[in-house]
Amino acid sequence: MTVKQKDKVGVRKSQQARKKKGKRKIVKLESLKQLNLNAAGLDIGAAEIYAAIPEGQDEVSVRRFETFTADLHALADWLEACGVDTVAMESTSVYWIPVYEILEERGFELYLVNARHVKNVTGRKSDIIDCQWLQQLHTYGLLRGSFRPNQEICTLRTLLRHRGNLIRWRAAHIQHMQKALNLMNLHLTNVISDITGVTGMKIVRAIVAGEREPKVLAQYRDPNCKNSEEVIAKSLEGNYTSEHLFVLQQALELYDIYTAKVKVCDAEVEQLYSEFAPQVDITTKPLPPPKKKRRKNKNAPDYDLRSLLYQMTGVDLTAIDGLEVLTVQTIISEVGTDMSKWNSVKHFTSWLGLAPEKDVSAGKVLRTGTKKVKSRANLAFRQAAMGASRGQSALGVFYRRIRARHGPGVAIVATAHKIARIFYAMLKERRAYISPDPTAYEARQKERAIKHLKRKAARLGLQVLPAV
């Protein structure tokens, strides 16, 4: 074959490749039809609500209501009188929650819509136009409702978010105690790992009570403390000034107040767990023992949370490598236990912001990566991936393999995505998780790598042979 013939063959192959690449999946779009004939749209604000209904169902198609409870019931009465059965509203701050709850109680089908998905035409912004625009889009079935768990999960989520705030506010007063000690040149934080531990709290309480002798204070040392009494006594030699002692005392009091509030909140959460219908009888199907004994988190509640979550879900989600009991609790409070809310696991991971997305225009890839979301569940799965990355499980091997190729950022997202898929399958099918053998997993990866190298060598006219 001559050079000219080779060039013609190359051009023909490139044209065929472009044609093949240009074949894209064509999605069949339905014609625009009015699907929700009795739809209403609400524009919700802090002080007033504008509601739009279809033309002809009342003398006026748009009415204004205030946000007092009596006015919300009047809104529901007006919608019922006009024959409305489905309502669309934007998720504006927290103002939509009372409206949503009252309308849900009255039996309306509700669509909670992301405001970014329903932006109106620029330059024509008003409350009346917004509610009419929502009503029109909802009439043609162009709106997609946001996920909202059932009321039991919402109650649990509210309490756990409040508990998280209490712990965060308490942490600020721990920092205040540390600062007061440092200002008095008491380097207690250099010799013990946590001043809120057994040794640290005994010493701090003794200082607030009036004790100043370093050797006496060092005697409060717990036997499990790494440093000796002599080292601790040396760190407690400082300048006990009255103003910093006053700050230390008030920070300790506030720390104790928040600790007490956390315990009260834990009691309320435990009571709420008892109201959930158990998915498994723990007497006939007991909770399997943990794979390894884990150090108890100091922020964990005093009750047996692992058993309560097992009864609530019917599976032991802590069996997944990287998922601890507090992380599972956070995820459950955000996504619930009913995985039928998502059509498939792909929809679930996409909603979490863990699935890769690709924006393509004119045959060019404009952007790749995961979408930006503000989700506590997303953060919890990423934290689980960080925990699994340090282990010797199959998930740990997977993380290290992806990290070697793409870096730690991509590896964390990929591992979190895999954990989310396992989480979805366990709740969807109510079956236990069996962790793959990491040795067998590495062997399969090695076998795949060898096959890839052999194919690549064959294309280059070479041969891969094992080392002697």
- The span from the CA of 112 to the CA of 152, in Å, is 18
**Do 340 and 411 lie in a common domain?**
yes
Query: What per-residue string of b and e applies to 137-168 under the rule 16 or more CB within 10 Å gives b?
Result: bbbeeebeeeebbeeebebbbebbeebbebbe
Residue range 196-211, pLDDT digits in tens:
999 999 999 999 999 9
- Of 105, 139, 173, the domain-final residue: 139
- Of 110, 139, 168, the domain-final residue: 139
- The span from the CA of 323 to the CA of 415, in Å, is 12
**Do 127 and 164 lie in a common domain?**
no
Q: Assess if residue 26 is contained within a domain.
A: no
Q: Assess if residue 460 is contained within a domain.
A: no
Range of the structural domain that residue 432 is part of: 305-436
Q: Flag whether pLDDT at 17 surpasses 70.
A: no
Confidence of residue 6 (pLDDT cuts 50, 70, 90): very low
- Of 31-45, 359-373, 376-390, give the lowest mean pLDDT range: 359-373
Q: Assess if residue 24 is contained within a domain.
A: no
Helix, strand, coil content of the chain in percent (nearest 5):
55, 10, 35
Between 359 and 330, residue with greater pLDDT: 330
- Of 23-27, 136-140, 398-402, give the lowest mean pLDDT range: 23-27
- Total domains in the chain come to 3
pTM of structure = 0.82
**Do 114 and 164 lie in a common domain?**
no
Contacts of 285 (CB under 8 A, 6+ apart): none
Report the pLDDT value the prediction gives residue 55, as an integer from 0 to 100. 87
Q: Flag whether pLDDT at 11 surpasses 80.
A: no
Report the pLDDT value the prediction gives residue 327, as an integer from 0 to 100. 94
Mean pLDDT calculated for residue range 84-97:
89
Question: What mean pLDDT is reported for the chain?
Answer: 87
What is the DSSP-derived secondary structure letter of residue 302?
Answer: S
